[in-house]
Amino acid sequence: MEVLKATLVALLLLLLGDFISTFLYHVPEHVFGKFHSVVHHSKNRSFIHYAVLTKNPLVLIDGFLGVLPYFIFIPWFWKISAVGTLLGLLFGELHVIWRHVSILKWKTPKPIQFICNVLCITTPERHWLHHQDANLAYGDIFTFYDQPAQAWLRFLVVFKKQLKQRTRINNQ
């Protein structure tokens, strides 16, 4: 029973964290902010030590904002399964490191690629697509968040245009 609880808590932590990070931080930041885009998508970005090893405070702050949705669940999940909570956080961090190895010309082995596709897990190659085109491949851990995130992105872009038009009219 403890193994099942730990597994479910880890999975739920990753699902909820990725959902909140994608829809409440990542996608809105692409529309309304510049912070994430400068760190991850600008032409001047540096992948030498990328988000895991860099000492650039902007990257560290962006990383913290991206991980905050996972941290907010710790008090509740810890009560259910401390081991599951730790496993979820560990898997999430290892996935961050793994998905950023694309700069090293990493090629995911075909059997792992197949398993990731079946389980809807983002691979380094898929994450690299997002770094190349910020409108593609949303969902840091799970690929099934991509299509709803793109719809959310389109909605927010229209909303932002409407806000600008209203602001312009009110300022005249």
Q: What is the pLDDT of residue 135?
A: 78
Q: How many CB atoms lie within 10 A of CB 43?
A: 4
Cα distances from 41 to residues 37, 48, 125, in angstroms, run 5, 14, 16
- Structure token pair of residue 43: 């032409």
Q: How many Cα atoms within 13 Å fall on the side-chain side of residue 86?
A: 3
What tens digit of pLDDT does each residue of 106-155 get?
Answer: 789 999 999 999 999 999 888 888 877 777 778 889 999 999 999 999 99
- Structure token pair of residue 90: 């560990």
Contact of 100 with 52, CB cutoff 8 Å: yes
Q: What is the pTM of this model?
A: 0.82
